[in-house]
Each structure stands twice: as C-alpha cells, then as structure tokens.
Chain A
C-alpha cells in the first residue's frame, strides 16, 4: 500500500477540486439561467401537443404511440354546441400522463407558473379522469396554460366528439415516430442563429423548449431543417407520396422509403400489395411504364397518419 505517499494525497485532492470546479461552472451555474426562463406560448403549445415524453418511457416502451395526447381544432363549444372562434385544445384522455409543465409547474417559469395555477387551475388536472387544456393569454399579453375541464367543464370525450376525426391530430404519437424511425439523424429541428432564416425559418428562442422531452435537435444535417416545414409545404398529399417513396416527388432524394408505416391495409380496408407496388415502380424507373403505380391512401389509424399529423404541426 503506497497510497499514503504525500504527492498522491495532494494529487487526488486537486483532482477533486478541478473536476468539481468544472462541474460547478458547466452544470450548476447554467442551471440558474436555464431555470429562470419563462415558457413562451410556443413552448406551451409544444409540450401540450407532444405530451410527457416522446422517447422511451414506461407508458410507451416500444414507441408505438401509446398514452399520447391529441391536439384538436374546435369550431364549436363542446358543452353548448354553439359555434365559436376556431381554437386548439389539447386532449389528455384517461390514463395519458400529464404534460411536464402541469406536473411540475416550476418548469413554466415563475410568471407562467403563477398564472397557470391561479387562472388556469392546472393543479386540478387529473390523469385518472382525463383533462382538456388550452393555451390562454391574459390582458397583459402573458401566456398561461388553462385546464378547460376545470374552468369550462370540457371533457375529453365531448371535445373529441365535437371536433370530429378530421380535426384531430395525432401529433404526439407522430413525434414518437420521429424518434423511433430516426428522422433526427438526417433532419434537424434547430434552424441556426447565424443563417437559415430565409429558407428554414426563425431559429427558436430561449423559452421555446420548456417541458419538451426529448428536444431532439439533431446534430448532423443531411436534409432540410424541418422545425417550420409545414409553413413552406402544407400539402398532406405531397407528404403522403413523399413518405411512401421520396423518389416519386424528388428523384434525387436520399430519404428512405417509409412505406412500412402504412401497415397492412389502406383507407378502404384493402390489403396493400407492397411486392406488386415495388415491381411496378421498378418498371416505371426502367422506363417500361409511363406513370408510377398509385400510392395507397393510408388508413385512419395507421402510423403514417400520426407522422403526417406531426409534420403538419411543425409550423
């Protein structure tokens, strides 16, 4: 045992000091800056539609989109049935884990936290009965989260029924697909501050991420940034063709085909014959056919529907 050697004692202490100091500067000090940020309305919208977690979690271990909230566009009041200004509501059905800012209101920053609790009644949210949320603005233009089940008596079932399937977006389940299918190895969700403004849109701000998990910025851009993609291309039809086989709409694309997200049947319940489609597509590529084979319309409960809902939400 030679550890009592004076130099080594001193060395270990300096080592602890150096590593401790480095952690203090890189972990402890930034936590004050990051922790003091108030959530913007973008962050509130995002955490409400994406839900508690989009990566691996016990609620959705295989990333199949279990226990995810729904974002719906309401054009009528779900209680009275009277028409009203179009409003987005975020529906957390029974058993869906609550969003992070509701579970831990500190996440929202001090101002948004106080408003969301006092005016928005978010502490009355309940996972076991289900809750509907809204993003609201007070008269001083400060945003907060409102528990519409507590303040307006809206129930998840009522809201979904009033909105109807065509106004319901499975964007949260789609974000899980974004993580599971590795879109973020090619696409970033982070327009850069130094350029990118014109093509990819405005870079996000400090308070735009509160409560989001994972942020999945992506680091290696082999493809366009898609944080605002729906603002430049909002055609579901284009997205459908592009996901089935990107080379249909963009011959030089290196994006993989995501035809397997269609599942076994199309919108009419007909079995999709992938082998036939690929053969015909190959014939088209070799010039033996004039038009490519038709892309099957996806079923309402297919994974591709969730993914397209997600992409359409990236405004």
Chain B
C-alpha cells in the first residue's frame, strides 16, 4: 500500500485507499479493544500489573478511548467514505492518492498522539485529551483532507441527485472539522474556568452528535438497501433525520454538566433539545427497519445485514436512554456513574460499531473482489462481539444503578466499591470477549485478502455462497 504514496494518481487502482483505511481500522480496533480489556482488568484487580507508570490505569485509560474513536470508528468511516461516496455518485474517488496519503497521515498522527498521551502529556480535558499540537494535526492532516476528498467527489458526481448517505458524509466531515476547531479553542487560546469546562463538553458532545452518530447512520442507509436490494423505505424520513440532527443534536452540550454551576437557562434548554434527539433517532430506525420488509431472512443468513440491523436495533435503547437520562428528573441519579459508561459503550461499541463492521466486511469484499474467507469465523466474530458487549452493558448498567443508590443515600464510598466488584469482573470478561472476537476478525480478513475466492465480474459478494 505504501508504494502508492509516490505513484501518480491515475496509476493507483480505484479502491486502494478504501482498502488501506479498512485494514487500518481493523488493526486499531484490535489495539483499542485490547487496551480496553486491559484497563478493565485493572478496575477488577487493582494489583494486576503494578508498579510501572506506563502501565498504570491513569496513563492508559485515555489511550483506549482515543484509539477506538479516532483509530477504529473514524478510520472505518474513512473507509466507507472512500468507496460509498464515489459509488453513489457513479464516479471515481476525486483523488485516490489523497485518500492513500490521508490514511497514511492518519495512522502516523494517531500513533504519535497516542504515544504522547501514554507518556502523560495531556490537556486534562476529556475527549480532547491530546495536547494542542496534536489537535492541530488532527484537524489539518486528518479530518480536513478527508472532507476535501468527500466534497470534491460529491461535486464531481455523475448523478443528478445526492443520495442521503452522501449528505451525511459531506455534512459530517464538515461539522467534525468545525467542532474540532471550536472545541479546542481553550487549548489554542488558553481559555480558562467555566468556559474551558463548557467547551470541553461542547466538543465531546458534538464529536458524538455530529460525527459518530450521523455518519454511522449514513452507512446503514447505504448497506441495507444495497445488500437487500430493496429501495430505501422513505427518502422523506431521511430528510427529517438529517435536518433534525443538525438542529437538535448540535445543541444539548451542557446536558453533560447538569450538576455544574452553568447558567440554568442553558441547562434547561439543553435538556429539552436533548429529548428531541428522539426525532432523528426514530426516523432513522424506522426507515432502516421498514427497508428490511420482505428480506428479514437476510438478517439470519447474511453476515453484513446481521451486523447492520443489530446495530440499528441497538439504536433504540441507546436513544431511549440518551433522550431521557439527561433530563433533570433522571440525571441526578445516574450522573457520573457506570450507567453512563454503559450508555457510551452502547453508542460506540453497540450501535455505531456494529453498523460499521457490517460496512467494512461488505466494502472490503466488494473492492478486493474476494469472497469472505470464512463465514464460521464471521459468525464467531458476531457472537463474540454481541455477547461480549451485552455482558459489558448489563454489568455496567447494574453497577451504575448501585453507584446511583450509593450516591443519593450517601453510603460510605468503599461499600459502593465492594458492591461493584462482581460487575467489574463481568465487565472485564465482556471486554475480553470483544477483543478476542476482533482478533478473529483480523485473521479472517487477512485470509480473505490472501485466499478468498475471487468474485466474478458482474456479481456482488453476497450473491456467492460461503465456502467455509
């Protein structure tokens, strides 16, 4: 892949960039979930690997989060953009070379960023932990070049309309760049106090709301119609989804700080807007599920559909929680507890990851023209991820409710720690399953590239029978 960095744009086979992004994302997924499982072990057994600063919990926790957000999820997004955007515009990617360079610089920047974080060089701001020089790099060499490629491909498309997936891709890359620019102003201009605290959560909220959630959904809008052969149920619901994301999802930042002394009007406003997040959520879920009409057998038979629809189904509890847990009536109970940790994993490891995994499976087979090497391993991956995630989510939700009760009844904190212990073990087991599933995935995709059956011209990957 690296040989294409110096090749002329015309000489790079179409799809190369997508393959590079795709495999990178899988490797980051393995690394990120491996770190997650390691950290979870430390919360269950605090004396597991001790005495070394570099392997201490406080040094590794943010490395896990940044590796999965910027390594796995965002690179999987890049992968899908590299192949879906041109296909939906009936054209080629605007610049394959930029795409390959972008993936290369992404990997380099992220490796550098995670190294300095690991070292302890961090800004002390959650979700914008990188020091400002890495933040600048992320913006200039990671998200903006990705956006340029997407926007130019959309502009140079050879279809008249723009399909819904591409609205989201175009808007998502634009919005994430704005969010990273504004959200890091405290570091660029040394803003302090409540301004800093608020912008930290403005940034965190909008990375999720204007990047991870909408782009994840956009991917589902492509995968499901494409593989089932059904047209999207309703374009108009798609409109509703898009516009309500922009209007409602971009505003509730301060609901992350409900118990901080921010202006009360701001918190109330955020809460109301936060409930309205249910509008895009319901529009998305119903649109995808209605598109499945008549093809529900594929939910069982086809691996990519299985992943995507499972992800979509997880968006239901995700948004039910998301809409209501941030209201004052509920937030006071579960704020700052494991409940929120469970919710965050439902968003990133549940909904978003499952949809992306489906699209990465589908895209890599389609571009490489190779059938998936083993369905058995694919199914194993699915069940490891699902069982692992569910174990994690259930145990953390229970732990969160215990913490919440401990909090309001002012139970001595150590009793809460003791009561949580079994759930910390369960969380670690769940996380380890996810990690193992991903190792299986990496192996399966590696074998697919090397030994997968060639897909004949004019056929699609899912039309061929699996061989293993």
Contacts and interface: CB of A to CB of B under 8 A. Distances in A.
Interface stretch (B259-267, B382-390, B439-447): B259-267
A215 B414 contact: no
B124 A54 contact: yes
Interface stretch (A69-77, A136-144, A164-172, A253-261): A253-261
Nearest to A205: B261
Q: Which 7 A-B pairs have the closest CB atoms?
A: A182-B58, A55-B124, A192-B259, A214-B124, A56-B131, A179-B124, A194-B332
Given A22-B247, A100-B192, A260-B51, A252 B122 contact: no
Contacts of A274: 51
Nearest to B158: A2
Given A27-B182, A194-B332, 20 more contacts: A1-B155, A2-B160, A5-B160, A15-B171, A18-B250, A19-B250, A30-B254, A55-B122, A62-B119, A181-B120, A193-B259, A204-B261, A211-B193, A212-B192, A212-B196, A213-B186, A224-B413, A252-B414, A259-B51, A278-B51
B190 A213 contact: yes
Contacts of B332: 192, 194-195
30 contacts: A1-B155, A15-B171, A19-B175, A19-B250, A23-B182, A26-B250, A26-B251, A26-B254, A55-B122, A56-B123, A63-B121, A182-B62, A185-B62, A193-B261, A195-B332, A198-B410, A203-B261, A210-B193, A213-B191, A213-B196, A214-B123, A214-B186, A216-B125, A217-B197, A219-B336, A221-B336, A223-B417, A246-B46, A256-B46, A260-B52
A56 to B, nearest CB: 4
Contacts of B243: 14, 18
Interface in B139-184: 155-157, 159-160, 162, 171, 175, 178, 182
B263 A34 contact: yes
B392 to A, nearest CB: 15
A56 B62 CA distance: 15
A180 B122 contact: yes
Q: Which one of B155, B159, B341, B407 has the greatest number of beta carbons of chain A within 10 Å?
A: B407
Contact of A209 (B156, B197, B336): B197
Interface in B210-264: 243, 246-247, 250-251, 253-254, 256-257, 259-263
Nearest to B65: A185
SS of B interface (majority): helix
Interface string A39-67: 00001000100001111100001110000
B402 to A, nearest CB: 12
Given A56-B121, A61-B121, A213-B192, A25 B57 contact: no
A184 B124 contact: yes
Interface residues of A, number: 85
B362 interface: no
A284 interface: no
A15 to B, nearest CB: 6
Nearest to A251: B414
Interface string B101-125: 0000000000000000001111111
Nearest to B193: A209
B92 interface: no
B156 A30 contact: no
B56 to A, nearest CB: 5
A67 B62 CA distance: 26
A249 B251 CA distance: 45
A195 B175 contact: no
B47 interface: yes
Interface in A1-20: 1-3, 5, 8, 14-15, 18-19
A258 to B, nearest CB: 8
A219 B414 contact: no
B307 interface: no
A14 B167 CA distance: 13
A23 B192 CA distance: 19
Interface string A189-208: 01011111011000111101
B85 interface: no
A45 B155 CA distance: 55
Nearest to B411: A199
A34 B257 CA distance: 14
A195 to B, nearest CB: 5
Interface string B52-75: 110011110110000000000000
A185 B125 CA distance: 11
B132 A56 contact: yes
A256 B50 contact: yes
Nearest to B247: A18
A195 B410 contact: yes
Nearest to B53: A260
A295 to B, nearest CB: 14
A30 B198 contact: yes
Interface string B308-341: 0000000000000000000000001001111011
B155 A107 contact: no
A286 interface: no
B465 interface: no
A35 B247 CA distance: 26
A206 B194 contact: yes
Given A182-B57, A212-B193, A27 B202 contact: yes
Given A219-B336, A254-B43, A55 B125 contact: yes
A230 interface: no
Contacts of A209: 192-194, 197
B419 to A, nearest CB: 10
B363 to A, nearest CB: 25
A181 B126 CA distance: 14
Contacts of A123: none
Interface in B376-421: 403, 407-408, 410, 413-414, 417-418, 421
B269 interface: yes
A271 interface: no
B293 interface: no
B192 A107 contact: yes
Interface in A214-241: 214-224
Interface in A62-106: 62-63, 100
A188 interface: yes
A230 B266 CA distance: 32
A153 B53 CA distance: 43
Given A254-B43, A254-B417, A3 B253 contact: no
Contact of B157 (A2, A211, A260): A2
A22 B251 contact: yes
Interface in A277-298: 278
Contacts of B194: 34, 37, 206, 209-210, 215
